[in-house]
Structure 1
Amino acid sequence: METVVIFFIAISLFVVRAEILTDSMSRNPEYDNKNVHPTKTLTTLNFRSLLQCATFCRSNINCKAVFYNLGNSFCQLLSACLDPADIIGKQDSQGWIYYEFKKQKCNQWHNFNQHQYKLDRVPRNFTASQVFCSSLNEASYIIEVNSQDENDWLVNLTKDICGSSGEYWINGHDEDNSGMVLWLNTRKNASYTNWYSNSPDHQYETCIVSSIDFKGEWNDISCRELRPVVCELDAI
């Protein structure tokens, strides 16, 4: 009888802990037992429980998700909520379960300075991203960044609210590798730029991306590359 009581107490404690965990993090079994690109892994530690693993993640400003192994108690901290493009195979061992911080309504339009913004994390080339944004609304276009405040707000949207990392398209071209940017929606030269050190640095790379991990700094790349996109909509 004592054994049965202890068993039910243990189950009850597990359920309570799971409820506490899921207040801030959500399960996504799609990524269970998956191996991710090394750039997404912050560190791997050992904790006695999933709750301890998740709590440690919350204390790390760069941690957005975790893998926890129920068999060996290993806790792997991740720098971003995972996308299919982050997966490079399967883990060498089984028992890895995936949790990520709940996204704060990432998939809706967000307001800033009388404009609306929406991140889509599916990688596309530049032209396909233009088509995607216009499919959301005929007046929507790839983001055009016009100030440091707007840049910083976008970093918060993509990194902190949506849990993303890497780069996303911005709606400008640098045709002559001079650093002068022409915005494609307004057809005006940019008065604000945020180039990464020594960029632009490739004559035939006319498209531009903003790096979430480097405070929104810009880099020139080929328009054929695949990246997520932030779409922008002017206030109506």
Structure 2
Amino acid sequence: MKAILVFLILLVVAESILSAPNEITALSEAGTYSMIFEGVTYTLYSSPLTFAQAEASCTRTGYNGHLVSIHSHSLNLFLLHMVRHFNVDAHQMWIGGKRNSFRRKFYWTDGSRWNYWYWGSGSPSGPGYHQNCVVMSTTNPGYWHDIFCSYKRPYICEH
């Protein structure tokens, strides 16, 4: 009985997050889409770049921008909803997670604490594989995977 109650509460919370009114700005001619969640602006860029190029693009936009750092499941769900809402044709999106190749630990490019992760099956790979940059999958419930930083993917900035 308690399990059913917990499930129902989680279902209501998830639905309220995804259906909450958020400010939406679509600039489809530039390939960018923005939404505000909990006072922070998230911008999705549909043009694929490498991880380093994407991070540089986020910092160039001003407002101390970086690739998105995700610290809660509700934000992860919101970003997945955002990608699906704008119907961006991509299976993976760069987020701001990266592995330190010396200490082999993950960190966020904005310097915030690595206190949440949502790895998919088989991820993260072992540090010897050099798959050091993190993407969020858009074809499953938003699981993360580590891939080669040289791959080109669309990306999400926060500012």
The TM-score range, normalised by the shorter chain, is 0.7 to 0.9
Regions of 4+ moved over 6 Å: none
Q: State the 1:110 CA deviation.
A: 1.1
Check conservation: 2:59, 2:66, Cα contact below 8 A: yes
Check conservation: 1:104, 1:162, Cα contact below 8 A: no
| CA distance in 1 between partners of 2:140 and 2:43 (Å) | 20
Q: TM-score when scaled to structure 1?
A: 0.50
Aligned to 2:87: 163
| CA distance in 2 between partners of 1:179 and 1:153 (Å) | 29
The answer to whether residue 26 in structure 2 is matched with residue 105 in structure 1 is: yes
| CA distance in 1 between partners of 2:93 and 2:77 (Å) | 14
Q: State the 1:187 CA deviation.
A: 4.4
RMSD of aligned residue pairs (Cα, Å): 2.4
**Residues 161-196 of structure 1: CA distance to partner in whole angstroms, max 9, x if unpaired?**
2102310111111236x99521121242x1110001
Residues 199, 156 of structure 1: alpha-carbon distance in 2 compared, 3 angstrom cutoff: same
Aligned length: 129
Structure 2, unpaired ranges of 5+: 1-23
The answer to whether residue 36 in structure 2 is matched with residue 115 in structure 1 is: no
Tell me which structure has the larger Cα radius of gyration: 1
The alignment partner of 1:105 has SS state of strand
Structure 1, unpaired ranges of 5+: 1-102
Aligned to 2:21: none
| CA distance in 2 between partners of 1:108 and 1:120 (Å) | 7
Sequence identity percentage: 23
Q: TM-score when scaled to structure 2?
A: 0.73
Q: State the 1:138 CA deviation.
A: 4.6
Q: Identify which of structures 1 and 2 has the higher relative contact order when contacts are C-alpha pairs closer than 8 Å and 6+ apart.
A: 2
| CA distance in 1 between partners of 2:100 and 2:121 (Å) | 18
Aligned to 2:123: 199
Check conservation: 2:47, 2:153, Cα contact below 8 A: yes
Matched AA of 2:124: P
